[in-house]
Amino acid sequence: MAGYLSEITNTAGPVDAKEELLGECESIWKQLEECQNKLMVLGTETVLPSDAKLYLLMLQCKALTVDFHQWQARNPELISTNPDVLLELGKEELQKLENNLEVLLSAVQSKNKKLEEELEREQQWYEEQKQMLETLNKIEEEANTQVDYLSTTVNLKIRKLSELKNKTLKLNTFKNELLSALVGFLHEHFPLLEGGENITLKNSSAEPVVELITLHDILEMLINTLVATPHEPYITIDESFWPPYIELLLRYGMARRHPEDPKRMRLQIFQN
């Protein structure tokens, strides 16, 4: 306290103000010593060990209650009424307040700087997440487009396959109808030779008997060979082929001979 007052009087305060303030401080110090002596006297009372803690707590409660009432009834007092001393004290307090405010301002500015850096990092993270989300949305959109395209393609292929199956069934039905009509036509207009397929002919040289095949069998051989081996659709004409049947097929353009081997022939392909 004395050092604080000497600093004030050395800077601007007069000697009288210093002496007055020192006197007031000594008076307050004496009052504090008297209060301390009273407290020490009260503390010397002997109590039983079992009630010592409770007794001390009660004394503390009483002391706090008295202090509370005194502070409520007491009006604030100035340390000194000297305007020069009060001016210097006010300047010192203002200087302390200014220093505290500067420290607080520096702390707030440092905190703001950290918050700005953190905000910048958060914004950068937000932009990265936003770009990632846009990329994922684009990938999802492309995947959905591909799924829709694949679904449409699959449905189209399924529909075409179903149509192709229906056409195949129709063609098979039509083929069976044609074969049935052909068989009926052949049986009606080209019956078995002399009453059956087992009719045989003998060569003049007494060679073994050769069994002739029907026109229906010849046409079936030609069709099967054309379907099985379209690159080589020719069949070999042997002695089981009745020459009038061969001549009939060649004359009406239903078959034709091999250009280099007259013993071979194939089914004529009819195109629109």
Report CA 213 to chain centroid distance, whole Å: 74
Element (H, E) at 125: helix 83-189
More confident residue, 61 or 19: 61
Report the pLDDT value the prediction gives residue 12, as an integer from 0 to 100: 44
Residue 81 has a pLDDT of 67
Mean pLDDT of 92-114: 92
Cβ count near 89 (within 10 Å): 19
At residue 1, the pLDDT reads 44
Q: Quick count: other Cβ atoms within 10 Å of Cβ 234?
A: 19
Average predicted confidence (pLDDT) for the chain? 80
> What whole-number distance in Å separates Cα of residue 260 and Cα of residue 257?
8
State residue 42's pLDDT score: 63
Q: Assign 198 a pLDDT band (cuts: 50, 70, 90).
A: very low
Does the structure show a pLDDT above 60 at 48? Answer: no
Percent with pLDDT over 90 in the chain = 33
Element (H, E) at 256: strand 255-257
pLDDT bucket at 169, cuts 50 / 70 / 90? very high
Q: Is the pLDDT of residue 108 over 90?
A: yes
State residue 260's pLDDT score: 92
